Chain A
Amino acid sequence: QSVLTQPPSASGTPGQRVTISCSGSSSFFGSNYIYWYKEIPGTAPKLLIYRNDQRPSGVPDRFSGSKSGTSASLAISGLRSEDEADYYCAAWDDSLSGRYVFGTGTKVTVL
């Protein structure tokens, strides 16, 4: 059971803005950085956002991340057909014995 909850699906037409949420407990969110990954089925996942809102080189600025309180968000602006994929948030949970937790995943569909 993941401690990070995402909506199962999101959609938009080309050019629109889509936002994906990632929510959890206040104890978890208070001290952990959120990472976001994009996965196209059959291919390796790719890092989109690190440390809540930082973009690796090569990731378009159409992708942005934020974190506030007990939730984080990934926004995709200027939606394109190649953005159709599964998106996961994740964070290190250093409580108990330590583990890396993935969100439940969101399927983005470009209509």
Chain B
Amino acid sequence: QVQLVESGGGVVQPGRSLRLSCAASGFTFSTYGMHWVRQAPGKGLAWVAVISYDGTHKHYADSVKGRFTISRDNSKNTLYLQMNSLRAEDTAVYYCAKDHYYESSGYYAIDYWGQGTLVTVPS
């Protein structure tokens, strides 16, 4: 069964950096795109970024473009999110999620989610 386990969350001061990781198992990681999605306290789901199965295509939400970088290591079955210049409004639970489409690099959707890791940036 698909398992996605996020780590790396915590409390970080505004302007600092943090890197999230997501360990994947139960599927062939190197053949599926991967997403990060976040949910601020009391708010709805907000998509953050996606990376294609081979890492060659990346897309970002406008709110994080230029500050966050999504990457993957297919040899380690691990997804990453490097978050720089963090702001109070980045406070959220961050979910790692698996893409629905096999070897897609142009069309994406989410089918499985991790349990999330909390990132807190005090104001």
> Are A and B subunits of one complex?
yes
User: Residues on A close to B: CB < 8 A?
Assistant: 2, 33, 35, 37, 39, 43-47, 50, 56, 86, 88, 90-92, 94, 97-105
Q: Tell yes or no: B61 within 8 A of A by CB.
A: yes
Beta-carbon nearest neighbor of B59 in chain A: A98
Do B44 and A88 have beta carbons less than 8 Å apart? yes
Do B106 and A94 have beta carbons less than 8 Å apart? yes
Chain B residues within an 8 Å CB radius of A103? 44
A50 to B99, CA, bound (A): 12
Do A99 and B61 have beta carbons less than 8 Å apart? yes
Q: 30 A-B contacts, Cβ less than 8 Å apart?
A: A35-B100, A37-B45, A45-B45, A45-B113, A47-B110, A50-B100, A50-B109, A86-B44, A88-B44, A90-B45, A90-B109, A90-B110, A92-B109, A94-B106, A97-B60, A98-B59, A99-B47, A99-B59, A100-B35, A100-B37, A100-B47, A100-B50, A100-B108, A100-B110, A101-B47, A102-B37, A102-B44, A102-B46, A103-B44, A104-B44
Chain A residues within an 8 Å CB radius of B95? 44-45
Beta-carbon nearest neighbor of A101 in chain B: B47
**B contact residues, total (Cβ < 8 Å):** 23
Q: Tell yes or no: B115 within 8 A of A by CB.
A: yes
For B110, give its contact among A35, A43, A86, A94 (CB under 8 Å).
A35
Chain A residues within an 8 Å CB radius of B109? 33, 35, 50, 90-92, 100
Q: What is the predominant secondary structure among interface residues of chain B facing chain A?
A: strand
Beta-carbon nearest neighbor of B48 in chain A: A100
Q: How far is the CB of A63 from chain B (nearest CB, A)?
A: 15
Q: How far is the CB of B50 from chain A (nearest CB, A)?
A: 6
Do A47 and B59 have beta carbons less than 8 Å apart? no
A39 to B44, CA, bound (A): 10
A46 to B35, CA, bound (A): 15
In the complex, per-residue mask of B105-123: 1 if CB is within 8 Å of any chain A CB, else 0: 0111111111110000000
